[in-house]
């Protein structure tokens, strides 16, 4: 089913637009949070070379998703997986 075919059929049933919008927003948020959590410093991907990735965090680096009224020197990035 193509997008144009879906839109043509949706004209007859407009109640489908909120459902599609909510599902799209929820799936987008789930993908974003999955990617964010996979890149978190407390997740270990490589048990041989980097057993404790959270020890690489220096003082003054931001690792939180959201910071309110806090100032950090830099943002922590995972260097290797």
In tens, the pLDDT along 22-81 reads 999 999 999 999 888 877 777 777 667 767 766 667 777 777 666 776 777 776 666 665
pLDDT at 13: 86
Domains of the chain, residue spans: 1-39, 45-75
* Nearest alpha-carbon partner for 42 in 56, 31, 30: 56
Model-level pTM?
Answer: 0.57
Residue ranges with strand state E in the chain: 61-62, 74-75
Q: In this structure, what token pair is assigned to residue 53? A: 């990735």
Mapped onto helix, strand or coil, the DSSP state of residue 5 is helix
- C-alpha–C-alpha distance, residues 63 and 77, integer Å: 8
Distance of alpha carbon 12 from the chain centroid:
35
């Amino acid at each position: 089913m193509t997008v144009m075919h879906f839109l043509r059929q949706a004209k007859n049933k407009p109640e489908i637009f909120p459902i599609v919008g909510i599902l799209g927003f929820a799936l987008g948020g789930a993908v974003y949070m999955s990617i964010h959590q996979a890149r978190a410093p407390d997740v270990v991907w490589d048990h041989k070379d980097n057993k404790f990735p959270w020890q690489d965090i220096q003082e003054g680096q931001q690792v939180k998703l959201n910071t309110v009224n806090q100032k950090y020197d830099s943002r922590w990035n995972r260097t290797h997986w």
